[in-house]
Amino acid sequence: MSFSPSDLPDLTGTVAVVTGANSGIGLHTAKHLAGHGASVVLAVRDTESGERAASSMPGETRVEHLDLASQASVREFAERWDGPLDLLINNAGVMRPPAYRETEDGHELMFGTNHLGHFALTGRLLPALQQSSTPRVVTVASIAHLGGTKAVVEGNPETSYSPEGSYCQSKLANVMFMRELNRRASAAGSPLVSTGAHPGVSATGLVADPNGMGANPVVRVAAPVVMPLLFQSAAAGANPTLYAATLGEPGSYTGPQRRGESRGPIGPARFNKVALNDDLCAQLWDVSVEKTGVEFAL
């Protein structure tokens, strides 16, 4: 379909949170939401970088500290929140650390950050979302989720860790969470809409992140030069998220449509068949509740 940020509706009165909004997909997502009238909170690990990003954006923005690798930080962010929340965009992530690492809570870093951090954040912000008449949660995944397997419910144990395989599992968990949240909200008669998106292959700072692939100094130096030459821009990569945040149908998953969903106009993205297994989605949900202690009062 033809879609660009100019197609966004008027978002005046909308309150939005975008995780990882200091760079890449998150930055462009936050910028366009604010530019169309939303009041946007940039939820970021590096608040200094977040302030620089916010200063470049139009409209109403503010920066809040959030480290998704820390369940304590997630809890503190939610406890600071005051008032209704209309839109939560679960965007931040860690990609392919070369060696096994854990969050401070003892979870594999990618599973703990990309999935469990956002799972807990959504659950803890649910009371604020329920104060909105049109609550929406967008979970940003990846075409890499197609490489995930049923072992996703094991939570990326150290014994089976690989940078690529474990990243795929964490992004598969994102898609499964999106679908299960939508199913539970619908079953409960809640107005909450859960959608998903992926950016294709975009030139963002995620590759150079020292917590991920950027832990390799060669990758960290080369990525800012090589990525823009090979892949679509971060601005283009934000389009599926912006669509999912405003126009996407409940339970939909949006991504680029060309070159194996790596770039181009947006449309319905492919699902890993594991993500369509409702029993496994429910099992992953239960595992996530156990690991985070966060229940969803839908």
**Catalytic pick from 161, 167, 243, 253?**
167
CB atoms within 10 A of CB 173: 30
Residue keyed to tokens 């939005």 = 16
- Tokens representing 135 are 């609550």
Spatial separation of the C-alpha atoms in residues 254 and 267, rounded to whole Å: 6
Instruction: Give the gyration radius of the chain's Cα atoms.
Output: 17
CB atoms within 10 A of CB 189: 7
Spatial separation of the C-alpha atoms in residues 225 and 205, rounded to whole Å: 11
**Taking a C-beta distance cutoff of 8 angstroms, is the pair 173, 120 a contact?**
no
Give Cα 83 distance to the centre of its chain: 22
Q: Which of 139, 210, 131, 211 minimizes the C-alpha distance to 172?
A: 139
Q: Which of 202, 201, 184 minimizes the C-alpha distance to 193?
A: 184
- Tokens representing 168 are 């795929």
Catalytic status, residue 253: no
> Active-site residues: which are they?
167
